[in-house]
Amino acid sequence: MALGMPLDTLARYPLLDALRDRRSRRFGVGMQMDSGPMAYRSSEPGLPLTEDEEAVLAFAACGITGYALGDLIYEPGKGGTIMAGMTGRTVASGDAIQTVSVVVTNEKATYLLKRPRDFDRKELPELHDLARRGELTELYRRSRVEIKNGRAAPPLRRLYNLAVNDFSLYDPASTYFLPVNELTFLYINGVMEILDEWNGVFLLDERASFRPAGVSKFARSKGGHLHDDPRDERVLTIQQLESLVTEFVTIEQGMVIQNLALMAQAMGLGGFPHWAAHPFGWLEALGCRMQKIPASRYLGMGPVLSALARALGRDQVVPLGLGIEKDGKPLLAPYCPPYFPSMEAAVRAVVDFKFGDDGVFRGGTRFSLWRDPSSIETTAKAPSAAAQDATVAYCEYVYRRYGRFPAYAPPLRTILGFQAGHVDRSFYERFYRPEALSETQRRHRELWHS
């Protein structure tokens, strides 16, 4: 059912006001600050977010909104076929891949919200209609998959958490939203674009004396199509390439956090971004499938340094989050082993996702806003055999040398979370001037809980 009056009021809330009045408001009803100049114990019991309130926040974070436009040139060499999806969300995403998933956790349950490509395409039109009609609670129910009973959270000890958040973090009445980056699909898709005949980028491994990263036989100096002459300025290292990938995906996660903050303000809720960048703490808490890799392997050390690290007792084990599963079924699975038998299989799967019989640029074009989908199908060509083979060679090299893909960052990554809850008006009225709260915080319960 639709949310009625609260959503009607929300729909009229000015964006300028949300931008102007957005603040981190950490102190909620039921909380206690033990010491300092603002020591205070709330006189009210904690008030958990309702399902409706969570639904609106979830929609702001990553809600499906309709079809992407894909207004690009789809002729060979013009770049349009880098697109890998045609569904839009409330946050932008490179190539419409939707690299970021969102976890929602409260005292009752922990959910993973599906990305557009996690749905059967036939479901999408109805989901778009739910969003347009404002039936956000129903959209929330259809988008979430329970992955754990009760709240998931890593320990509060250092460095899983920072001291600044101790008094407020994981409050029982709060709901925590956690974006999770999945790097591999965008990574493979981007590599295939730059290793084609028109871009011809040559890739080097800076941790192996700058030798070719599996792509030697595709070099122009050997009759191939990749520009291995540095004077052409088309040479990248693994680190440079992966830094671009991680920064690109991290920006998407930042948009999720900003949308949550703006929506919390518009609804009159409290909330704040939270450091969630422990390399594996959240992934363990979510019950991810984990792999333990010796540090020497993780860092790509050669045999001599690896042996020395073991001899000195310095070759520590590094946990690596691989994927989120439920009852043995992958829910968030990177395009790399163990979810694919090899990196070659992962690369071919990306190609098939886009250009297979029901791929984005084949049968999938009917799920779009194009008036003439057949013209896109006819024009959009799959990457050449040379581009695909060079991508396979590079990805296989990275996985073989470093025991994982990507080589630097883990395939799943958390950086920031957002905790939302009901503000304790008495706390802010006691310690702050009136403008610390906007009218939306003062009227929230009247609108959402009457």
pTM confidence score: 0.96
The number of domains in the chain is: 1
pLDDT at 87 over 60: yes
Sorting pLDDT into bands at 50, 70 and 90, what band is 296? confident
What is the C-alpha to C-alpha distance for residues 166 and 45, in angstroms, rounded to an integer?
19
The alpha-helical segments, DSSP class H, found in 12-161 are: 15-21, 51-62, 124-133, 136-143
| pLDDT (mean) for 361-386 | 97
What pLDDT score does 5 carry?
A: 73
Residue tagged 């404002």 (tokens): 134
Handedness of CA 74, 385, 397, 197 (dihedral sign): negative
What is the C-alpha to C-alpha distance for residues 387 and 389, in angstroms, rounded to an integer?
6
Mean pLDDT of the chain: 96
Per the structure, the complete domain to which residue 319 belongs is given by 5-448
What pLDDT score does 323 carry?
A: 97
pLDDT at 4 over 90: no
What pLDDT score does 84 carry?
A: 97
Sorting pLDDT into bands at 50, 70 and 90, what band is 1? very low
pLDDT at 298 over 90: no
pLDDT at 2 over 60: no
pLDDT tens, residue by residue, 418-442: 999 999 999 999 999 999 999 999 9
Q: Domain with 46 in it: what CATH number? A: 3.40.109.10
pLDDT at 101 over 60: yes
| pLDDT (mean) for 343-371 | 97
Radius of gyration, alpha carbons of the chain: 24
pLDDT tens, residue by residue, 176-222: 999 999 999 999 999 999 999 999 999 999 999 999 999 999 999 99
Q: Is 312 helix (H, G, I), strand (E, B) or coil?
A: coil
Element counts in the chain: helices (H) and strands (E): 15, 17
Residues contacting 435, CB < 8 A, separation 6+: none
What pLDDT score does 273 carry?
A: 97
What backbone torsions phi and psi does residue 196 show, to the nearest 5 degrees? -85, 180
What backbone torsions phi and psi does residue 89 show, to the nearest 5 degrees? -120, 180
pLDDT tens, residue by residue, 227-278: 999 999 999 999 999 999 999 999 999 999 999 999 999 999 999 999 999 9
